[in-house]
Structure 1
Amino acid sequence: MTEALPEELREFASLYPYELDDYQIAACHALSGGNGVLVAAPTGAGKTVVGEFAVHLAVAASRKCFYTTPIKALSNQKYNDLVDRYGADRVGLLTGDSSINSEAQIVVMTTEVLRNMIYAGSPTLNNLGFVVLDEVHYLADRFRGAVWEEVILSLAESVQIVALSATVSNVEDFGDWLSTVRGRFEVVVSERRPVPLFQHVLVGRKLVDLFEGVAPTARELPSERAAKVNSELLRVSRNEATRVRDDSRSPRGRSGRGRQQHGRGSGQYGGATHPRFAGRPTSRAEVAIVLERASLLPAIYFIFSRIGCDSAVRQLEGVTLTNREEAELLGRIADRHVAGLGGADLAALDFERFRDSLMGGVAAHHAGQLPAFKAIIEEGFVTGALKLVFATETLALGINMPARTVVLEKLVKYNGEAHVDITPGEYTQLTGRAGRRGIDVEGHAVVAWQAGMDPRAVAGLASRRTYPLRSSFAPTYNMAVNLMATLGPTRARDLLEQSFAQFQTDKSVVKASRTERTLQVDLAAARESLECHLGDALGYARLRDEITRLESESSRARRAERADQLESSITALMIGDIVHVPRQGWSVVLRVGQKQRGGQPWAQVISADHTVLKLEPHDLRGPLASVGRVRVPRDFSLRDRRSRRAVLVAMSDKLKQTDAQVPDTAFPSDDAVAGRIAELRAELRAHPVHACPDRESHAVEAARIIRLEREARRLTAETTGRANSLAVQFDRVCAVLADLGYLDGDELTDAGRMLRRIYNELDLVAAECVRRDVFADLDPAQLAAVLSTLVYESRPSRDSSHPRMPDAASERAQSELRMVWREVGQLERTHRRDRGREPDIGFAEAAWRWSNGQDLAKVLATTGLAAGDFVRWVRQVIDLAGQLATAVGPGDLRRTCHLSADSMRRGVVAADMSED
């Protein structure tokens, strides 16, 4: 087949040890013909071959090719692959932390770097012929997805795009959009795996096929598989249910647990499907033994918990899955990657324990690890020496770590709010790692049996492809000023209306328009049937409706305004503030916080009689107002009566010194609305229909008409709003920017030009802080602490400790920053924009300590963070400091930003910048 290919493609295909698949050849043909191409195929099917062909074409035509990825680790991996093929002089790397040979013919970069280049009009874009967007389905990502659409819409028409995606159910829609906005674009889809995948359930110590009598092939689609669940698994499920019912009727013994019936199954390999088997979960060590004896290693074992992954490695300490040569190879890989770290840092990271498990063939891989440790695991796994990796689902998002087998311990994961079932799309993404092309003749997916498991539900996950791609594109402040600067308002709106988000929305407008037409027919008929001999019954009903509306809206507005004032008053509090609490009197604030992201704020206070309260907005009659502040020691303990008494004595002294009065917290009334309601009531009484004996029956008919009219207006507004939804959002963003002075008409002000360089979720808050000198007079460590609050987001935790700013100067700046955030939020509310997330001080002390030169062990002990999390957040603070240094121009703040970044770029952080 290779002989029939065009010479250029035949030459490229010869670089691979296997024949290219039909879909790969079709996609490469499309590129050769000058088209863009969207390739959607399962994980491990070899989509990147098409991206590599784009590189091949660029080199042959003396054009540039940018290869973009969503994560730095994948960028590093692809950079190394291309260096091996083309040499270091032809290949560059650009991430937030690394810049290697940036003007090379082939440059690998994160997608954000390319977006920033486009906005800046970088000369590096000259002679660009091809852009590969690896993992383009990331455009559905809530926080980062917009970047992919910005790049697709903004690249020059002459650039050919190669979009590589996981299999999605609406790939045709996505392809239609790409054709609409980019011109010549072909869609190539494959649902076939190059290596057949066998599905199993591990029951006790026995691997049982999920499907009965079906041997999968590489060319088989999931929908073609006879989805007949193995009768043996159904029997296990029935027997387990019977045992549960029997146990519920069994007499209880002294232990209170009833009779023990075959609690460990038969205790023999293969005996787990005994009719009385209770479905006992298999230990992780037992899983490793089963996989090794079945020759199913190397394997990735997915556990949806970082702690679970680390615990699993500890549970397998002493288990050896490697031979001497493999162990020595893994040891050398580990030592090479940590060569830049000192002994103290390695001790703080418990490196020796990590290395011992690694040499035994076992490791964990998750976001809490140092990039250096993850790089060790990734390289070791590719060699085949590392046999078993316990991983969270983040490993499935792009890193090239195929395995012979994938194990799923559970089919439920925590999504940050609740435990939910994994979706068929997630199941496919995870199990797609199984089966190494060119190494394995088959891959294996293993689901560990859990009590109550339904084998038919597992079969459903393994047989469906239901992963729709939904755009998350929405204009941000930074995007708005960049679009205004590069395109102007009219072309900026045009670009927004070309987005995939708008493309998907427009389809729903057709259905809404059809409903609206039907409603108008009903409305016309209802109007004809309403009449009163005394006058305009519909006009009379409209007066009544307007009165009701004003009363309701006034009440809601008052409640909303009060709620906002109450929340803002709690948010504004600092530790040590003296406030007057209803029914409790003068009190000192001990802690402030928020229930969860987007939840209500709260404050813990102690009153003069030592009563401790946790105040939330609904506990207050009016806003809290600080009348002074006392010092609350860092080691303050509520359990210590002397500590409590010292704080309360300080409060009493402060109140005497300031002669503080109970603040007036009454809410103002809305006299204008009340006056308008009174006028309408007078009009109502004077209306002729008011005297009609049938006015209430008229009112019922009229009320129906008003409801239909309101529904018609809602549909019209919704249809119009959908049709121009992003343009409306863009206008609201611009309105906020104009009110704050970032836009002057359609032109950017100096402040707007500064905002162009700040890429942060709280970009506008950061820019406002610069303008208001919030960061002025801070030293580098204090600045690091304050900037961390703009990037850090706490993970859900049961930890009751309350973070605080490290010193008075940073606390003062943070207080001012929060005030800016509240003011921006109030303006956003006025313009019907969602408020940006709340600044989070949870990393402030860690950033301050690291910037001040404290050693890694002490910082990690203080923060309780995993080493990888610590490094990641430090690097984000460094990145923001660098953005501000670029944005603010020459001066003291720029110097402090550079000093702050430099102070943090040391030790394990600096070492991992070279790794990741």
Structure 2
Amino acid sequence: MSTPAKRYSAAKEKVRGNGTGLAEFRDSLNFDLDPFQEEACLAVASGSGVLVAAPTGAGKTVVGEFAIFQALSTGRKAFYTTPIKALSNQKYSDLVAIYGPERVGLLTGDLTINGEAEIVVMTTEVLRNMLYADSDTLDSLGYVVMDEVHYLADKFRGAVWEEVIIHLREDVQVISLSATVSNAEEFGGWLDTVRGDTRIIVSEHRPIPLYQHVMVGGRLLDLFAEDVSFDEVAGAPEKMAEVNPELTKLVHRSAGGSGSRGPRGRGRRGGKGWEVDREQLSTRVSRPDMIMALDHAGLLPSLVFIFSRKGCDAAVAQCVRSGLALTTTNEATEIEQAIDLVAHTLPSGDLDVLGFWPWREGLMRGFAAHHAGLLPIFKEVVEELFVRGLVKTVFATETLALGVNMPARSVVLEKLEKFNGESHVSITAGEYTQLTGRAGRRGIDVEGHAVVLWQQDTDPAAVAGLASKRTYPLNSSFRPTYNMSLNLTSQFGRERARGVLETSFAQFQADRSVVGMAKQVRSREESLAGYAKSMTCHLGDFEGYAKLRAELSSAEKEAAKTISRLRRAAAADSLETLQRGDIIEVTGTRRLGRCVVTELDSAWHDPRPTVLTEDKHIRRIGVQDLNGPVQVISQIRIPKGFTGRSPKERKDLAASLRNALTESRPPRESAPAYDFTGSDEQEERITALRGVLKAHPCHGCPEREDHARWSERHAKLLRDTNKLRSQISGRTNTISKTFDRVARVLEDFNYLLPAAEDAAQVQITAAGQRLRRIYGERDLLTSLVMETGAMNKMTAEELAGFISALVFQARREDHGPDPRMPTAKIQMAWETAVKLWSSLSDAEAHASLPETLAPDSGLIWPIYKWARESDLRECLRGTDLAAGDFVRWAKQVIDVLDQLAKIPDLDSGLARSCNQAVQRVRRGVVAYSNVLD
């Protein structure tokens, strides 16, 4: 019997005898294949699927390129999928350079080039959509390369990778390329289960050694006592990973406050680098000084990771102000030429709002920022100039760690913690590895360097722990969506669809995790028994007393929330009634004192008047700046034509403000009275609970608070343990149970007919067939609004603005008042969407499903204005949107509009408006792409 091992061995011998195309492929390269690359290519040549897990920069893509070579050699198609459009664009350009534009295509949702070519590069979502539509483009497909496949762990988009892997035809070879993950064998085992024979090739070797350092006051100190690289530390005996004693001394000196004099640095051995003198050492270093220190040590070009967009922009501004310049005259001239090409593609009137001039100034000096808020064309230029060696330092957020090819000689981490949207958390060993993995350019550098900037609370031992681990587990984020469930039901029927979902990696991992979870429950039960004993009170039932305390705390918090809501509503009402010339006192979080209203801004979704303070500053205020309503204490006349730009204007008006206050003029009208107290029912409940609590026997216990602390620990551990028990009980058939819940919601809204006894009779309604073509996080909500006809009579610009509410998600929660809409039709559609979302979220709560994102009005005005051909400055006025964010969201609006336009039997007027809206939004900076350049 032929086993996979025997087939692989035979293929290996065949290849070495030049029986396949590997020898020819090898001859086309200008470098030798590494052992892991050769092993993976042999597996591809043998007909196996392949999972290649290797560090960033190790050369994984060579295996994908060999699969493409094999496809062309055998007359079949090859698809190359990536998680992001920027990476797709980059790979398309690479392959065009090898095979020519006639043989290579690109599909990214908003861009189609030669889509029926032999080689097509695409985002993974495009391939998923093809599979559900049974597209003819899939004919003759032989190979699919899934680059950055570890992206399937992504909370929002990761499920797409699993959908593709599950649904591809059996005869298609899947070549999965991943960063180094600690559970590659587990993931490979799943691939082998669902795709058949799959070889797992793991390489933990970095082709370019990576050395670790800490920068203290502009001096570079080795992190480890021994002169060892990442590979050596990760696999070395414990003594090899001993922390540099100089750093340990620094910790003690910092903790003891013994002055700023720090350790003497050590020059690197073996002629590798730099000398560090014995001058007095300050532990902090400015960003310009940090760059100069890297330059002095020969460690540029460098990527500096700052986990904040504002931080990246501020770093560039600091370097410009310092006069720092890293470029020669010739380099600056080359950079200027690249910048001029960009300037010609952008409307001159948009350059200021796009931040073009500060961006240009930084680039000319050799440094730049790179983050999601940057205009895509700006990011592309930064990437190109960095790769060409003209830009020496890029300040980037962690989004750069994914995909785009920008290796550097050194990588700097400014901090070891980041904001995850809810709180500041330490980065993981996996994240550290991903970020520092870009250090060391293959074929250019003999070694790479990772540098951590010293902070007051830096613990060298903790840094060493991050720098010596390869922990990066790949965990599935897969769950059935409404669109996915309908497509599966359409293809397979309900019962078979359930079976297909049970083959997901999510279920594969769930089945393996139950044993470990049960062990955790047993351990926690022992701790619970100990906590229960410690909280025992000799005066009575302390558990009952603790429940009363918790109930009172909850009631008081709810009353506080009610008061907070009343204050915000009152603040919004008071701002709505303001007039120019009103004198008010701002005593909230901004504490601006007494101000005069100079301008009203009611065009946006919440009132944000402009005021002049007594000390002559122009400010804008909103609900978030207040802790209650503002009171009009007097009025003055605002001079006609007042702009606030002139110091004299501001000085004169501030004088009028002070004079009015001394004259004690009466207010325009009496201010309404506000009652900021909880409801009578809430107050009565709180009073009653306090009485019961005081009457309880345990209330008088002298050890009450000690018992309470143990009780709180017991309650928290019990909640966590019950949650774990619930997870264990639901692990069996977890994914199919979720599918059943999704199906119930679809039945509630008439997208699926209720299941008959014979599951094969389940039918999808006409609305369900339309929903099959809508992809996105708000897929069902979008369909529900569409089915009401609320969008049918909209103009193209109205439709574009409204669709943004079903796409956009603000980076920060906005609890302001309901927005004003540009037109009555958008207002009606918005109100419809909010009502439908409320019904949908109720149904989801009843079905124990995650809540669909609520519609978000934050992009309606900007997109509406943009579709009406307003300039970018006008579109962004009054918003917190960066230009890059606007472009990114505008492209997602285009994507949804395009999806709707292609739905069969769609209202003809709506389809026409969708197509017109696409054209109106796809203009200017939104339409720009460098792929065709």
Report if aligned partners of 1:93, 1:107 keep a CA contact under 8 Å in 2: yes
Which sections of structure 1, spanning at least 5 residues, go unmatched?
248-260, 520-551, 572-580, 593-602, 615-630, 653-663, 668-710
Q: Secondary structure at the match of 1:80?
A: helix
Q: Counterpart amino acid of 1:892?
A: G
Match of 2:83 in 1: 70
Q: 2:444 aligns with which of 439, 446, 469?
A: 439
Match of 1:380 in 2: 385
Q: Secondary structure at the match of 2:142?
A: strand
Match of 1:738 in 2: 747
Match of 1:759 in 2: 775
Structure 1 pair 416–666 and aligned structure 2 pair: CA distance change class (3 A): closer
After TM superposition, list the pairs within 5 Å mapping 1:97-496 onto structure 2.
Answer: 97-216=110-229, 221-223=234-236, 226-242=240-256, 244=257, 277-279=281-283, 281-317=284-320, 318-496=323-501
Cα deviation code 1:535-563 (max 9, x no counterpart):
xxxxxxxxxxxxxxxxx9xxx9xx99xx9
TM-score normalised by L of structure 2 = 0.75
Structure 1 pair 151–310 and aligned structure 2 pair: CA distance change class (3 A): same
Distance 2:361 2:796 in 1: 39
Report if aligned partners of 1:588, 1:651 keep a CA contact under 8 Å in 2: no
Structure 1 pair 849–4 and aligned structure 2 pair: CA distance change class (3 A): same
Q: Secondary structure at the match of 1:24?
A: helix
Report if aligned partners of 1:605, 1:613 keep a CA contact under 8 Å in 2: no
Task: Give 1:651 shift.
Answer: 11
2:110 maps to 1:61? no
Structure 1 pair 215–799 and aligned structure 2 pair: CA distance change class (3 A): same
Report if aligned partners of 2:299, 2:410 keep a CA contact under 8 Å in 1: yes
Cα deviation code 1:476-500 (max 9, x no counterpart):
1011111111222122111100000
Distance 2:198 2:263 in 1: 58
Structure 1 pair 507–441 and aligned structure 2 pair: CA distance change class (3 A): same
Task: Give 1:270 shift.
Answer: 6.9
Q: 1:835 aligns with which of 842, 851, 856?
A: 851
Q: Secondary structure at the match of 2:806?
A: helix
Task: Give 1:289 shift.
Answer: 1.0
Q: Counterpart amino acid of 1:138?
A: Y
Task: Give 1:797 shift.
Answer: 7.7
Cα deviation code 1:235-281 (max 9, x no counterpart):
22222222x2x58xxxxxxxxxxxxx669999x9977876x7452x2
After TM superposition, list the pairs within 5 Å mapping 1:613-692 onto structure 2.
Answer: 638=630, 640=632
Report if aligned partners of 1:375, 1:915 keep a CA contact under 8 Å in 2: no
Task: Give 1:850 shift.
Answer: 1.0
Report if aligned partners of 2:105, 2:114 keep a CA contact under 8 Å in 1: yes
Q: Counterpart amino acid of 1:214?
A: D
The number of residue pairs the alignment matches comes to: 768
Task: Give 1:149 shift.
Answer: 0.2
Match of 2:902 in 1: 886
2:910 maps to 1:898? no
Match of 2:39 in 1: 26
Match of 1:781 in 2: 797
Distance 1:588 1:373 in 2: 41
After TM superposition, list the pairs within 5 Å mapping 1:555-566 onto structure 2.
Answer: none
Cα deviation code 1:701-753 (max 9, x no counterpart):
xxxxxxxxxx9999998656311111111011011101111012411111001
> Which deviates further from its counterpart, 387-396 or 322-331?
322-331
Distance 2:634 2:807 in 1: 38
Distance 1:161 1:322 in 2: 44
Distance 2:793 2:488 in 1: 33
2:792 maps to 1:792? no
Report if aligned partners of 1:205, 1:270 keep a CA contact under 8 Å in 2: no
Report if aligned partners of 1:193, 1:219 keep a CA contact under 8 Å in 2: no
TM-score normalised by L of structure 1 = 0.76
Q: Secondary structure at the match of 2:194?
A: helix
Q: Counterpart amino acid of 2:188?
A: G
Q: Counterpart amino acid of 2:110?
A: D
Q: Counterpart amino acid of 1:877?
A: V
Q: Secondary structure at the match of 1:748?
A: coil
Report if aligned partners of 1:203, 1:273 keep a CA contact under 8 Å in 2: no
Distance 1:295 1:512 in 2: 50
Distance 2:894 2:44 in 1: 39
Structure 1 pair 223–892 and aligned structure 2 pair: CA distance change class (3 A): farther
2:831 maps to 1:826? no
Report if aligned partners of 1:142, 1:472 keep a CA contact under 8 Å in 2: yes
Report if aligned partners of 2:93, 2:931 keep a CA contact under 8 Å in 1: no
Match of 1:908 in 2: 925
Distance 2:606 2:370 in 1: 41
Distance 1:201 1:588 in 2: 50
Distance 1:915 1:491 in 2: 44
Report if aligned partners of 2:901, 2:914 keep a CA contact under 8 Å in 1: yes
Match of 2:271 in 1: none
CA-based RMSD of the aligned residues comes to 4.2
Q: Secondary structure at the match of 2:288?
A: helix
Q: Counterpart amino acid of 1:327?
A: A
Structure 1 pair 87–913 and aligned structure 2 pair: CA distance change class (3 A): closer
Match of 2:94 in 1: 81
Task: Give 1:642 shift.
Answer: 9.3
Distance 2:417 2:727 in 1: 37
Distance 1:612 1:205 in 2: 44
Distance 1:5 1:297 in 2: 45
The alignment-based identity, stated in percent, is 48
Q: Secondary structure at the match of 2:928?
A: helix
Report if aligned partners of 1:38, 1:165 keep a CA contact under 8 Å in 2: yes
2:58 maps to 1:42? no
Structure 1 pair 264–372 and aligned structure 2 pair: CA distance change class (3 A): farther
Report if aligned partners of 2:785, 2:829 keep a CA contact under 8 Å in 1: no
Q: Secondary structure at the match of 1:441?
A: coil
2:822 maps to 1:806? yes
> Which deviates further from its counterpart, 176-185 or 285-294?
285-294
Match of 1:686 in 2: none
Distance 1:714 1:347 in 2: 53
Which sections of structure 2, spanning at least 5 residues, go unmatched?
1-11, 268-273, 525-546, 579-583, 589-604, 611-620, 622-629, 636-665, 674-678, 683-719, 755-761
2:729 maps to 1:729? no
Task: Give 1:325 shift.
Answer: 2.5
Report if aligned partners of 1:265, 1:278 keep a CA contact under 8 Å in 2: no
Distance 1:861 1:831 in 2: 41
Task: Give 1:809 shift.
Answer: 3.4
Cα deviation code 1:74-111 (max 9, x no counterpart):
00110000000011000000002110000000000000
> Which deviates further from its counterpart, 716-725 or 405-414?
716-725
Distance 1:224 1:97 in 2: 52
Task: Give 1:756 shift.
Answer: 0.7
